[in-house]
């Protein structure tokens, strides 16, 4: 009987543990966020009911039955939690640690043990966190050693958005003259950077191009020990991750601390269009860029059309007439940042101009696609307010029928005033606004050009039925599944 009990607890605990890990994974491995999630979704209330139920069953001596009932109950409330579960090394580590400490449980009585799940869950999580810290320490040392050995020129990029795009632009600009090691896709956490340094950085690399994501206060501290950069740039400061930063001022301070990573006589590139960016590090040389006023690198005479953007580029003293396939103001300032880096590193000017004309946007980041009568502008990776407005600007410049599809921004806290500006902009820039009601973001959109859909599929079906013959420009915004366009 005892063995059956033990086995039951073992299975039940592991099942519960998996469910919790899954939720934890989606809450970015933060216990605090997990707790908030559980209370918000009334899991804790369920938990209390189950606990009371179990305690009652101790007195009634119907342990097995109660146990099975509890299991069913757990299964019922968590049954959708195991879908889309990503098994990572961290999860495996957690499971292992959990199962190693689980036998301690059996010094307790079976029923009391059932109540101790949370204790075990937290302990095992903390232990595996400790293990991770130790492993990370080793990786940090390895990375430091490697950087000391290879001595590449380091370029660091941060900002609220546009990091990856800028990084790719810089890579394109430098790739011919230098051997550049680059962080893969959007690896921008400390671990991602350590992986890049330890695995991808080879002795022949001359430049190490790092994208640094800062999503909480004092997040930069971890990087200070490892990175001693030559060039640093902040793309733009927006209100991303406001929930972890608490105040907008904190974000500004934190992002500007990036310039502190630059070593003496290094170079900081400042986007003076953004008033929030300023360099507190006095030991470095400042270079400025701008899309609308005079700076070290700036552009004017900007002309848009459906295909390309033309502008006059001023690089220090020289002027060049350029054209590019890139669109949107935010993209131009990203482009300017990369031009500045290329010029500082002595890339041939004619090569820079040539590259500007050939750079293209990455898919889902404001990329163009022709489909029958439609011109589809895919900006579905975008998830920030400024980017949204700038894309709307772009749409409004189109000459044919204008359609905007969006489910709204995720993870953002806009003030009512900002939302108002956004609504007005949408109203001006498009003829039809398709709202996908995935979240309640556009719930109070007041204007009449809207149409609401439950899913993206529904929306596309509707467009296919009614707008197939019409020449239209369709802008797709914000985090949509990317299966739709064929």
Partner 1 sequence: MNNIILIFGGDSVEHEISIITALQIFKQYNGKYNLIPIYLKKSKFYFISSMEISTFKNFKYKNEVQFEANQNYFKLHHKKINFLGVWIVSHGKKCEDGSIYSYFNILNIPVISQDQYVSAICHDKELAKKIGKITTLPYFSLFRNDIDNKLDEIIKKANKIGYPLIIKPCRLGSSVGIKKVNNSNELVDKIKETLYLDNKIIVEKYLNNFEELNIAILKNKAKYLYSEIEKIKKGSILSYNDKYMNSSKSMIKEEKELPAVINEILRNEIIKKSIELCTNLNTSGVVRIDYLYDKDKKKLYFNEINNIPGSLAYYLFDKVNIKINDLIDIIIDNGLEEIENNKMLIENYKDNVLKGTNNSVKLFK
Instruction: List contacts with partner 1 (CB under 8 A).
Output: 145-146, 149-150, 176-177, 179, 202-204
- Asked whether 213 and 159 are in contact (CB, 8 A), the reply is no
Spatial separation of the C-alpha atoms in residues 366 and 50, rounded to whole Å: 50
Query: Is 225 in a helix, a strand, or coil?
Result: coil
- Asked whether 474 and 405 are in contact (CB, 8 A), the reply is yes
CB of 145 to partner 1, least distance (A): 8
CB of 196 to partner 1, least distance (A): 14
Identify which of residues 116 and 150 has a Cβ nearer to partner 1 in the complex. Answer: 150
Spatial separation of the C-alpha atoms in residues 433 and 429, rounded to whole Å: 10
Q: Write the CA distances from 18 to 15, 57, 342, 456, integer angstroms.
A: 5, 25, 48, 31
CB of 204 to partner 1, least distance (A): 4
Spatial separation of the C-alpha atoms in residues 210 and 323, rounded to whole Å: 28
Instruction: Enumerate residues 6+ apart whose C-beta is below 8 A from 212.
Output: 156, 157, 158, 163, 188, 193, 220, 223, 258
Identify which of residues 138 and 179 has a Cβ nearer to partner 1 in the complex. Answer: 179
CB of 339 to partner 1, least distance (A): 21
Please list the residues that pair with 207 across neighbouring strands. Answer: 153, 180
CB of 146 to partner 1, least distance (A): 7
CB of 151 to partner 1, least distance (A): 9
Which of 164, 215, 184, 210 lies closest to 334, judged by CA?
Answer: 164
CB of 203 to partner 1, least distance (A): 5
CB of 436 to partner 1, least distance (A): 36
Identify which of residues 201 and 214 has a Cβ nearer to partner 1 in the complex. Answer: 201
Identify which of residues 203 and 446 has a Cβ nearer to partner 1 in the complex. Answer: 203
CB of 187 to partner 1, least distance (A): 18
Identify which of residues 93 and 146 has a Cβ nearer to partner 1 in the complex. Answer: 146
Q: What do you get for the CA distance between the two ends of the chain, in Å? A: 59
Identify which of residues 149 and 185 has a Cβ nearer to partner 1 in the complex. Answer: 149
Identify which of residues 177 and 300 has a Cβ nearer to partner 1 in the complex. Answer: 177
> Could you give the angle at which helices 349-358 and 329-344 cross, rounded to 10 degrees?
150
Identify which of residues 38 and 153 has a Cβ nearer to partner 1 in the complex. Answer: 153
Instruction: Enumerate residues 6+ apart whose C-beta is below 8 A from 376.
Output: 368, 369, 370, 474, 476, 485
- Asked whether 32 and 91 are in contact (CB, 8 A), the reply is no
Which of 475, 478, 410, 474 lies closest to 441, judged by CA?
Answer: 410
Identify which of residues 152 and 407 has a Cβ nearer to partner 1 in the complex. Answer: 152
Q: Which helix (H) or strand (E) holds 379?
A: strand 374-379
Identify which of residues 150 and 153 has a Cβ nearer to partner 1 in the complex. Answer: 150
CB of 194 to partner 1, least distance (A): 16
Identify which of residues 142 and 454 has a Cβ nearer to partner 1 in the complex. Answer: 142
Spatial separation of the C-alpha atoms in residues 309 and 311, rounded to whole Å: 7
* Phi, psi angles (nearest 5°) of residue 473: -105, 125
CB of 352 to partner 1, least distance (A): 17
The burial class, CB within 10 Å (0-12 / 13-18 / 19+), for 398 is buried
Vertex 161: Cα angle to 155 and 162 (nearest 5): 60
Token representation of residue 457: 């599929």
């Amino acid at each position: 009987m005892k063995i059956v009990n033990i086995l039951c607890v073992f299975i039940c605990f592991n099942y519960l543990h998996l469910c919790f890990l899954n939720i934890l994974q989606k809450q970015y491995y933060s216990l605090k966020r997990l707790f908030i999630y559980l209370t918000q979704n009334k899991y804790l209330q369920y938990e209390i009911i189950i606990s009371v139920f179990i305690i009652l069953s101790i007195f009634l001596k119907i342990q097995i039955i109660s146990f099975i009932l509890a299991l069913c109950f757990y299964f019922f409330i968590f049954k959708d939690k195991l879908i889309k579960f990503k098994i990572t090394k961290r999860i495996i580590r957690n499971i292992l640690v959990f199962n190693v400490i689980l036998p301690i449980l059996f010094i307790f009585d079976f029923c009391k043990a059932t109540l101790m799940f949370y204790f075990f869950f937290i302990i095992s999580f903390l232990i595996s966190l400790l293990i991770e810290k130790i492993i990370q320490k080793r990786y940090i040392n390895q990375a430091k050693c490697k950087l000391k050995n290879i001595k590449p020129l380091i370029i660091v990029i941060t900002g609220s958005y546009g990091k990856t795009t800028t990084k790719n632009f810089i890579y394109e600009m430098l790739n011919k003259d230098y051997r550049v090691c680059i962080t893969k896709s959007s690896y921008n956490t400390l671990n991602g950077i350590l992986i890049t340094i330890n695995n991808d950085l080879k002795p022949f690399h001359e430049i190490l191009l790092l994208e640094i994501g800062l999503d909480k206060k004092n997040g930069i501290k971890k990087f200070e020990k490892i990175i001693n950069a030559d060039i640093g740039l902040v793309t733009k400061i927006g209100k991303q991750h406001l929930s972890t930063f608490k105040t907008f001022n904190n974000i500004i301070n934190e992002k500007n601390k990036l310039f502190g990573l630059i070593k003496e006589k290094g170079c900081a590139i400042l986007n003076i269009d953004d008033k929030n960016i300023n360099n507190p590090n006095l030991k470095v040389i400042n270079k400025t860029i701008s899309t609308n006023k005079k700076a070290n690198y700036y552009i004017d005479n900007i002309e848009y059309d459906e295909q390309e953007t033309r502008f006059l580029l001023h690089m220090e003293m020289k002027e060049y007439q350029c054209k590019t396939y890139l669109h949107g103001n935010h993209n131009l300032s990203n482009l300017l940042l990369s031009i500045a880096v290329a010029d500082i590193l002595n890339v041939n000017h004619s090569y820079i101009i040539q590259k500007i004309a050939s750079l293209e946007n990455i898919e889902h980041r404001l990329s163009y696609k022709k489909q029958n009568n439609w011109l589809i502008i895919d900006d579905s990776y975008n998830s920030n307010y400024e980017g949204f407005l700038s894309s709307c600007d772009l749409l409004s410049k189109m000459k044919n029928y204008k359609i905007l599809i969006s489910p709204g921004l995720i993870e953002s806290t806009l003030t009512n005033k900002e939302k108002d500006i956004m609504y007005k902009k949408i109203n001006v820039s498009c003829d039809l606004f398709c709202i996908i009601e995935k979240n309640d973001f556009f719930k109070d959109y007041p204007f009449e050009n809207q149409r609401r859909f439950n899913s993206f599929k529904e929306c596309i079906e509707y467009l296919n039925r009614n707008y197939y013959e019409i020449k239209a420009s369709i802008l797709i915004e914000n985090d949509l599944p990317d299966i739709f366009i064929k």
